[in-house]
Each structure stands twice: as C-alpha cells, then as structure tokens.
C-alpha cells in the first residue's frame, strides 16, 4: 500500500532518466540536475530508458532521436501509449536541423534540440520541462565592485541584498543617474568572480541622512552560461527565516 510519506517523497523529488553521453555534456556546466530534489538515472540506450521508466516513473526523459537499439520515435510511442506515464516530459537530441525538421512531425517528444548541443540551452529547457519553482530573487549580502562606463573608469563599491537573474537592487554611497551604465563585478558563493554590464533603471528613495543611495539595476547582454549560473544560485540559496 502506498503511504502518505511515499506520496510526499515522490511529489518532492523530480526524477530524470538521461542517456549517458548527454549527462557527460551537462556535467561540463553547473547543472540544475546536480541540485537536491532531483534524482538522475543515467542509462546507455533507449531500450534501457524504457526499462528504467517502468521502474522509476521519471518526470523527464532526455535521449537521442537516433540510437542503434531503439529509435526516438519508438521510445516516445512506447512511453505515450502507457497511461501510467501520462505526466512524463521527453526531450530528444537530433543529429542536425534537417533530421529535426523531417522527423519531429512523427515523434511525440515535447522538445527537440539539434547537435551541437549547447549545455546551457539544454539545461534551461530541462528546467522548464521539470517545472521547478524558481525564486525570483534572494536576500543574501553580495559585495559589488563597479565602474561607470561614461565616467572616469575608477572603481567604486556597493552591495546588494536583492539579486535576481535579471538584475539587482544596489546600495552605494556614490551618486549615479537614471540611465547610467555600469560594469559590475561580484562573487556568488564558491563561484569565480562574475562580470556583467548593467543599466540604472530605477532610483529608490534614501531611508535617511547617511543611508546609502539605492538603485535598481538591469543586467545587459547576459550570456546563457551566466543566466544559468545566476538562476541556479537564486534557486538554491535559502530564503530569510530558513525557508527552503
């Protein structure tokens, strides 16, 4: 008999079945799949994907459209025919754009990606398919070193206690103006120093004499790799008060 605890555990943990080669690609990035709350099952073939799906009933399958033992179309067909797997999402990696265009019409996967695979784009798609709830920001002190692009080029310091994947609320003693562009440098946890361009899009009233000036910054031209890193960090840092 299924207990309430088993239901709670199943609902709280996302399960991913993934072909070995693709997992190796993702290991080069700071993967969403490394985070707690996600259980990963690497397998070598599509036939074993199907076998593992019978055992674990995964939330997401990531595989190749072309495999020697079983094609992606056959795998998708077998999964979709079983009502027990109604909620599973499937991502297929294709040899090239031409194959993707020709065969995606006959394959019931949710997402198709062509080789060469961008690990950052693949991770973002996996994140969307898993429907992992992400916090929009976190409140942990982050020291920021900045310089004005249109100024004297000298660095000045600030801090943020409200950082998201798209910008931050910056506190500093320096007066800057709406529309100013900054070069920002900061560190998240154990990661290396991150550098990003930002624009001042909001001026926030000071809380009193001697208090820092507060500015809303919007990040500019964020690379896919940096976006993944920011979203991973924002998703994994505990909220104030110890909430997960």
Nearest to 127 by CA among 228, 7, 20, 58: 228
**Which tops the pLDDT comparison, 130 or 43?**
43
User: 27 pLDDT band (50/70/90 cuts)?
Assistant: low
Q: Which domains are seen in the chain, by residue range?
A: 4-130 (3.40.50.2300), 142-236 (2.40.10.220)
pLDDT tens, position by position, 168-215:
888 898 899 999 999 999 887 666 688 889 999 888 877 677 788 889
Q: Where are the beta strands (DSSP E) in 108-234?
A: 111-114, 142-148, 156-163, 167-172, 181-186, 194-204, 213-220
For CA atoms 226, 227, 230, 233, the dihedral sign is: negative
Judge whether 119 and 227 are in contact, CB under 8 Å.
no
Q: Whole-angstrom Cα distance, residue 197 to residue 146? A: 9
Distance CA 89, CA 64 (A): 14
**Global pTM value:** 0.52
Q: Count other C-beta atoms under 10 Å from residue 223's C-beta.
A: 10
Tens-place pLDDT, residues 140-165? 568 889 899 877 778 899 988 677 77
């Amino acid at each position: 008999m299924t207990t309430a605890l088993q239901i709670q555990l199943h609902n709280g943990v996302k399960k991913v079945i993934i072909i070995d080669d693709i997992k190796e690609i993702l290991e080069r990035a700071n993967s969403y799949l490394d985070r707690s709350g996600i259980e990963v099952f690497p397998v070598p073939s599509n036939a074993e994907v199907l076998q593992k799906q019978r055992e674990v009933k995964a939330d997401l399958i990531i595989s190749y459209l072309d495999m020697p033992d079983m094609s992606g179309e056959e795998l998708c067909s077998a999964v979709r025919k079983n009502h027990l797997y109604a909620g599973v999402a499937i991502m297929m990696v294709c040899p090239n754009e031409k194959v993707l265009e020709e065969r995606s019409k006959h394959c019931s996967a949710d997402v198709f990606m062509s080789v060469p695979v961008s690990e950052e784009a693949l991770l973002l798609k996996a994140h969307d398919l898993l429907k992992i709830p992400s916090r929009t920001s976190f409140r942990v002190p982050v020291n920021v070193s900045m310089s004005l692009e249109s100024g004297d080029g000298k660095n000045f310091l600030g801090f943020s206690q409200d950082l998201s994947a798209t910008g931050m609320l910056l506190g500093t003693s320096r007066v800057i103006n709406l529309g100013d562009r900054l070069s920002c440098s900061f560190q998240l946890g154990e990661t290396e120093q991150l550098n990003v361009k930002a624009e001042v899009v909001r001026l926030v009233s000071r809380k009193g004499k001697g208090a820092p000036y507060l500015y809303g910054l919007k990040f500019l031209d964020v690379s896919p790799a940096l976006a993944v890193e920011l979203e991973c960090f924002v998703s994994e840092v505990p909220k104030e008060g110890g909430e997960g």
